[in-house]
Structure 1
Amino acid sequence: MSSSTKNHFATNLLQLQNHIKRDPTSYKDEFAQTYLNYESTLQAYLMKPAKQNKQLADLALFLAHVSHCFTEELKQFPQQLIDILKRYSTVLNPDMRLTFCKCLMLLRGKNLIEPKPLFEIFFTLIKCQDKQLRKTLFEHMLNDVKRIKMKLKNYKLCTQVQQYVFTLTKENHPLVAKYALSLLVELYKKQIWNDAKTVNVIAQCCFSKITKVLALALQFFAGKDVEQDSEDESDSEDEKTQQQVLLSLRVGKKTKSRQKRTDRAIKSMKKDKKKNKKKNGIPHFSGLNLIYDPQDFAEKLFKLVETTNEGFEIKVSILDLISRLIGIHQLFIMNFHQFLIRFLNPHQREVTKILWFSAISSHDLTPPDTVEPVLMAIANNFITERNSSEVIAVGLNSIREICGRCPLAMNEDLLGDLVQYRTYKDKAVSFAAKSLIQLFREKNPQMLHRNMRGKPTEETIIESAKIKQYGELDAKSFIPGAEIIDLSDSEEKKESSKTIKIKQGSDDEDEDDEWVEASDSEEEDEQENKPKKRKHSEDDEDEDSDGEWIDVSSDGEDDDEENNQDSEKKLLTLAEKEEKAHKISTERILTQEEFKKIRVEQMKKKLTDKNFDKKNKRKNVKIDSDSDEDEEKLKNNGLVPMSSITFINKKRAHDKETRLAKIQEGREGRDKFGHRFKDSKLGKTNKEKLKTKSFQMLRPKLNKKHKRSFKDKQTALRNSLIKQKKMK
């Protein structure tokens, strides 16, 4: 190789890098010469490390890119960079420090350096006052752990790195502890380190003396699941892309090839959407469910909130975490509700959150004596005539939510006073009081006055007969509502079904034999012979999949059948129904259709008789069983949305009707809108004519380069002088 070529490679390192990656052995001499140049440049640079050296940065990046080709020659290169960063971490030029870190990242990507020493030097560099450096290092560590766990699947190495990060959360340096905790939080959200050990290490950070670390740990437990949010965003993005594809087909020229391409694109989008749903369908458990000892953890947090000197925001976050723990795990913390009473004042900051904490920290096992003072404090401070209607409505809503989880805390005298607000002049207050009445109709109707209990239903009659006391559990050995299933019919269907072999010979002689399942039961034959009545279309089924439509026909025969069935059900007593439901639940396995029938029947029990009497049999009553299941899940978790307390059912002050009324009031005693000159023969002014002229006619006048005449200048000067005179 000629000397000119060597000089060219010395000045163009990118070209030499490309040649070395293709054929390392042929360019070994050029590499050795470049490495010697790097060492000499490095020795000169370390004399003055605060200055930037562009040549050294290019040489270091070159060696990092070709390090996998000359592993023996560059064996000491990674450790050399680590030693430089350790020794001159705060003295190095920021650009050079970032360049050396990028070289180590490249070496880690080629598996030429272990992750633990790399994490050690990176967390040392996090102490430097360089935001760009900290951001780059954090992103690399996050992606590196993800690569180790997902792609390399080296669980032993991942556990070692995890243990090292756990120890860093206890560091005294604020930046190191904060970034170590941030790394744990992000990896938990990305479902990489989502085990119980990680959650409990984050829980211990709630007792840190560093305020930023404490706030970040509390925010982790108070935050929402990220998987649900990301799934919703991906769905909206898919819908936008499908709309764009269909719009491009509609706007452009319609051809067969374009139609095929559009169909293929939409199919691929739907497949990707299904794959994403399957991936995101992994059960994501909340961090609060993985804590080892929630009772001890909640007690320590309560001691912390009583003795801490942090700001009010931190105290509210700690109370939020304690209330969540109490509601989810059904804990009992002494004096917690008494501690909340001091904040129950309408003028208190974040008072709606305090009311929410008192609601979610109440459950079935909470002693009523501890919750009753909270109800009295809310009633005395919020539900009074001196407060506004919004404050009274919020107080009634909070009492309703507390009593929904701990109904025994309410006494008859207080309830009698609160339900009187059902006739209040403001609708927000009256609606809140009526919702409280509706709650006690379900929980304990005997506490209400006789005229407020409402029309009795089958469910309320059963529930009122057995009101649960404190600590009582309603564990049933059967499926409630299973008595509507007829056991004899299901057994006959099983016995009658058989498989027969049918030979298709006349029309399809060359085809193979097929096995077909056929039923000999008379009921199935009758169903096949009967004309099928279509209740609703398939599209309606997709739209109304959340609820069940109950269609009641008005034919005489159907009425007789229903009356017979109702009479049979009414003849059965409560004990006989339970016995029949127990027999059906224990002797056979129910199908999904039977469970659906049971859910519909249970929903019917909650409704009054007027929805299912003879007068309204032609009406379709929609029963939304899924929404009730969602409400039960929320109650079991002990967490209710904040909107259940802050929601105020109030008519807007500036709706359309009030706005129109105000407009009409302003028009009274004023002439109608119109032209000043009522004579239609008068012409338009010059300014009005300019609005209707074409742009081509006005274009020369609008040209900035066009020179004004002397007369136009005089007119403009006169107008400006008149304007100045008026301003004075």
Structure 2
Amino acid sequence: MGKQKTARGALLVANLPQLQNLIKRDPEGYREEFLQQLNHFDSIRQIFEIKPDDEDESKKFRDLIGFISQVAPCYPKETANYPSQLSTLLLENYAILNPETRKVLVSNLVLLRNKSVINPLELLQTLFPLLPITTSSGLRSTILHTILTVMKTANQKTKNHKLNRAVQAMLFGMVERGMDGEVLGDKGKLRGAKNAAANNPPEGNKVRDEAMWAVNLTKELWKKRVWTDAKAVSIVMLACLHPVTKVQSAAIHFFLGSEDDDEEEEEDPDLKGELRRHTVTKKKASSDRKLNKAKKQSKKFWEEKENKEASPNFPALQLLHDPQSFGERLYTLLNKYDKRFSLDHKVLIMQLLSRIMGAHQLCILGFYTYIIKYLTPFTLSIPSILACLAQSTHSLTPPSVLVTPIRKLASEFIYPGASGGVHAAGINAIREICRRQIWVMAEGGDNTGEALVEGVTEDAINRVVDDNDPKDPLPTPGKGEMQDLLADLVEYKKSKDKGVMIAARGLLSLYREEMPGLLKRRERGKTATISMKAGLQQPLPFGHTPDAVTGIDGLELLEQQMDQRQSKAADEAETDGEDKWKDWEMESDDSSSDSGGWIDVDSDSDKGLEISDSDDDEQGKKKVEEDGKEAEEDKDMMQSGAEVETQIPNLATTKILTPADFAMIDDLRLKAATKAVESGGGAAAKRKLAAIEAFKDANASGVRDLSHAFVSEGDIVGPRKRTKQDYAERMESVLKGREGRGKFSSTKFGKKAETGASLTNREKARNKPLMMVLQSGSIRNKKKASMREKQKRTSAHAAKMRKAR
């Protein structure tokens, strides 16, 4: 027996896969063989730490690691220290390990996690430090994929708060370790790289890479909706203040919702080259498959590129902790290191700062002074800078702070020598600023706020009179510099340039709706003049917020809808009742049957029979009288300038609204706004429709709508001439033109087929075989024609062509 056991042990040592299979079937029967292999692993590990370059020992060592990892769940006590030994070996000796050995160690740690030998946190504590030090792209992608998969699996059913807090603490520490470094900036990248190489040792590069990986991992987990809380946003918020410019840029792009330029982008498939090769080479099935594959890849590439439009990360902006302090630190970073940052990086910081200011209504007044020096038409990225200025403005921004930027815009962009595009950009920027702070153009006037807010009074009329029209009874502020500027900008509505004209009309429409008192009387329009006379169109003073909500917008539409349904149901019930009594016939008794027909009634007896609808007449008279009284009261209210009180619908006090009712209210508001636009409601109706659609989309996505706080470059540049189409647009137009026809057919034949028309003889002759055409009489006659006949035919053709010309 002893010889057989020894022989079996020697055989199994040389064949680890067989031993692995036997152990999984009977762990207790092969415990001694496993312990022998475990001791062998310890001895080789000690030797391997001293001589890691030995290829033979490395291969044996890798085989032993794979064997023990497979059977470790069978012997939990004996392999309790085995995972920590692998982690220590990987982290402490990573630089001297063979690349294949590194890969085996990582894969076996993942295997131990899949077999529940170690928990996810132990695995992640080993993998996180490897990301900034590994140089193999394959191993790096494996580690990154493993981290994301582990986190997604752990939070799949319910949120694993313990694991999330631990991982977020590790990532926060990776970013925080580099916060004490010096800000070098990215202006003069070559010189900055030399300084960075001289001042930053390899440890500094490791700290920088750690922060970069922390930001990238947070962005990926946010994109996959694994993390959606404020702690994840705090990691990226701290990275926005990191001294390394690359880390700053990656963190800022997270909030802006755009792609970082440093990130690797997928290349466009070479569809043109594949088409050219398919044309010149021999036609094969394989070449057809390659061409179809290239077409699919190109289509997918352009679709993904179109879907990757930059859109602000609204939820992340909402979850910022203490946005005022964060905004002030961003402005300090921007102002302090202005000469170290390139213009592109400064624009990134300005975009983030302005969006935070607009979303949270922050007042960082130094920003408006800082941005003035960039407000020139010759500045690179000027549309983005103008958008930053506009979206940093809100209703709580002091109007006096905005006067200087608007003056700079007017002097630099709006002068006779500038082009139409420059004019349009300047006016659009001023319009977007005024849309957010309407009181800017009222700065510099006398008694402006008092005249515009108090309403129509005798004192206001006597005190404030329009200079252009002394008979104007409306309250108009005293003329100042900004009012004169507004009048000058409105005059550009007569410009021949379409972009300038649209920009000026937009500014005019804005002040017609919000503050028509600042405009000349001839510029106000009929609606604004009537509203001002009635005292209905009064802007709120600066710093005031609208009153508390007293009703639900659109509730009256729901009440009308329900009344219509009830009346319709009542009419249907009445109609059903009449139908039931339609075939009814009165049964006559014996006494009435004697008459045998109609009953004669004396003509004098109809005097006592009175048929009257006096009730209806009285109700109609009362209704007319009530309508007349209401009309007189409304007229008196309009003349006295009193405020019109809105009546609260009865539905608000008699019914508890359900989510279905609110959904119906949204649909009814959308239909009413659409009907108003179709009936010629003007720009105000279009803006109201756009606001309702945006509100509905925000409710569907569950995100608060912050689009009003952001301005795009298109809003600043305005509509311009149509530019040259790119490849995607050209292909879209080509494919659109091919709709409704076959692969090798024209649309003309398809239209004739639809109408039932047949082909002409000339069209049919084109499809005739050549041998049949050669035997036709016309061809034979041409061949047999004499010289005189040919001359006549040529002369007739020439005369016909001259006549056609």
Partner AA of 2:140 in structure 1: R
Shift of 1:627: 2.4
Q: Which residue of 2 aligns with 1:21?
A: 24
Measure, in 2, the Cα distance between the counterparts of 1:67 and 1:654: 62
Q: Is 1:525 the counterpart of 2:531 in the alignment?
A: no
Q: Is 1:296 the counterpart of 2:363 in the alignment?
A: no
Q: Which residue of 1 aligns with 2:537?
A: 465
Q: Which residue of 2 aligns with 1:147?
A: 153
CA offsets per residue over residues 250-293 of structure 1, 9 Å max, x none?
Answer: xxxxxxxxxxxxxxxxxxxxxxxxxxxxxxxxxx9611212221
- Say whether the 8 Å CA contact 2:330–2:349 is kept in structure 1: yes
Q: Which residue of 1 aligns with 2:409?
A: 378
Q: Which residue of 2 aligns with 1:638?
A: 709
TM alignment of 1:76-475, pairs within 5 A: 76-132=81-137, 133-150=139-156, 154-172=160-178, 173-223=207-257, 286-308=315-337, 309-410=340-441, 411-456=482-527, 465-475=537-547
TM alignment of 1:22-37, pairs within 5 A: 22-37=25-40
Shift of 1:359: 0.9
CA offsets per residue over residues 544-600 of structure 1, 9 Å max, x none?
Answer: xxxxxxxxxxxxxxxxxxx99999996663779625237764565564598369737
* Aligned CA distance change for structure 1 residues 486 and 106 (closer, same or farther; 3 Å): closer
Shift of 1:18: 4.4
Measure, in 1, the Cα distance between the counterparts of 2:126 and 2:45: 20
CA offsets per residue over residues 302-341 of structure 1, 9 Å max, x none?
Answer: 1111112333333222211211111011111122111111
Match of 2:665 among 595, 614, 618: 595
- Say whether the 8 Å CA contact 1:148–1:158 is kept in structure 2: no
Partner AA of 1:599 in structure 2: R
Shift of 1:187: 2.3
- Say whether the 8 Å CA contact 1:49–1:92 is kept in structure 2: yes
Measure, in 1, the Cα distance between the counterparts of 2:578 and 2:419: 64
Q: Which residue of 1 aligns with 2:612?
A: none
- Say whether the 8 Å CA contact 2:256–2:352 is kept in structure 1: yes
- Say whether the 8 Å CA contact 1:206–1:213 is kept in structure 2: yes
Measure, in 1, the Cα distance between the counterparts of 2:104 and 2:162: 30
* Aligned CA distance change for structure 1 residues 623 and 174 (closer, same or farther; 3 Å): closer
Shift of 1:351: 1.1
Shift of 1:71: 1.8
CA offsets per residue over residues 526-550 of structure 1, 9 Å max, x none?
Answer: 587999xxxxxxxxxxxxxxxxxxx
- Say whether the 8 Å CA contact 1:457–1:607 is kept in structure 2: no
Measure, in 2, the Cα distance between the counterparts of 1:604 and 1:162: 48
Return the TM-score normalized by structure 1. 0.64
Q: Which residue of 2 aligns with 1:580?
A: 647
Shift of 1:224: 6.2
* Aligned CA distance change for structure 1 residues 11 and 442 (closer, same or farther; 3 Å): farther
Partner AA of 1:390 in structure 2: G
Shift of 1:421: 1.8
- Say whether the 8 Å CA contact 1:482–1:581 is kept in structure 2: no
- Say whether the 8 Å CA contact 1:51–1:93 is kept in structure 2: no
Shift of 1:464: 5.4
Q: Which residue of 1 aligns with 2:692?
A: 629
- Say whether the 8 Å CA contact 1:479–1:581 is kept in structure 2: yes
TM alignment of 1:42-81, pairs within 5 A: 42-50=45-53, 52=55, 53-81=58-86
Q: Which residue of 1 aligns with 2:785?
A: none
CA offsets per residue over residues 433-473 of structure 1, 9 Å max, x none?
Answer: 22222222222223233333334279966785322221222
Higher mean C-alpha displacement, 325-334 vs 284-293: 284-293
* Aligned CA distance change for structure 1 residues 409 and 105 (closer, same or farther; 3 Å): same
Partner AA of 2:315 in structure 1: S
Shift of 1:301: 1.2
* Aligned CA distance change for structure 1 residues 306 and 376 (closer, same or farther; 3 Å): same
Shift of 1:70: 2.2
Partner AA of 1:209 in structure 2: P
* Aligned CA distance change for structure 1 residues 476 and 122 (closer, same or farther; 3 Å): closer
Partner AA of 2:506 in structure 1: S
- Say whether the 8 Å CA contact 2:399–2:437 is kept in structure 1: yes
Measure, in 2, the Cα distance between the counterparts of 1:343 and 1:149: 47
Superposition RMSD in Å: 4.4
Measure, in 1, the Cα distance between the counterparts of 2:529 and 2:554: 15
Measure, in 1, the Cα distance between the counterparts of 2:678 and 2:129: 70
Question: Which of structures 1 and 2 has the bigger CA Rg?
Answer: 2
1:67 partner SS:
helix
- Say whether the 8 Å CA contact 1:9–1:15 is kept in structure 2: yes
1:128 partner SS:
coil
2:72 partner SS:
coil
- Say whether the 8 Å CA contact 2:174–2:210 is kept in structure 1: yes
Partner AA of 1:77 in structure 2: Y
Q: Between the two proteins, what is the percent identity of the paired residues?
A: 31
Measure, in 1, the Cα distance between the counterparts of 2:575 and 2:530: 34
CA offsets per residue over residues 460-516 of structure 1, 9 Å max, x none?
Answer: 6678532222122222543377796798997999xxx9xxxxxxxxxxxxxxxxxxx
Measure, in 2, the Cα distance between the counterparts of 1:222 and 1:476: 33
Measure, in 1, the Cα distance between the counterparts of 2:350 and 2:512: 32
Unaligned runs of 5+ residues in structure 2 are 179-206, 261-312, 442-481, 580-623, 696-703, 727-769, 772-805
Measure, in 1, the Cα distance between the counterparts of 2:575 and 2:549: 35
Shift of 1:81: 1.4
- Say whether the 8 Å CA contact 2:674–2:689 is kept in structure 1: no
* Aligned CA distance change for structure 1 residues 298 and 652 (closer, same or farther; 3 Å): closer
Shift of 1:605: 11
Measure, in 1, the Cα distance between the counterparts of 2:643 and 2:575: 31
* Aligned CA distance change for structure 1 residues 447 and 37 (closer, same or farther; 3 Å): same
* Aligned CA distance change for structure 1 residues 476 and 18 (closer, same or farther; 3 Å): same
Higher mean C-alpha displacement, 465-474 vs 400-409: 465-474
CA offsets per residue over residues 110-132 of structure 1, 9 Å max, x none?
Answer: 23234445444334333424143
- Say whether the 8 Å CA contact 2:355–2:392 is kept in structure 1: yes
* Aligned CA distance change for structure 1 residues 111 and 484 (closer, same or farther; 3 Å): closer
Return the TM-score normalized by structure 2. 0.58
* Aligned CA distance change for structure 1 residues 653 and 291 (closer, same or farther; 3 Å): closer
Unaligned runs of 5+ residues in structure 1 are 227-283, 498-518, 532-562, 613-621, 656-691, 694-728
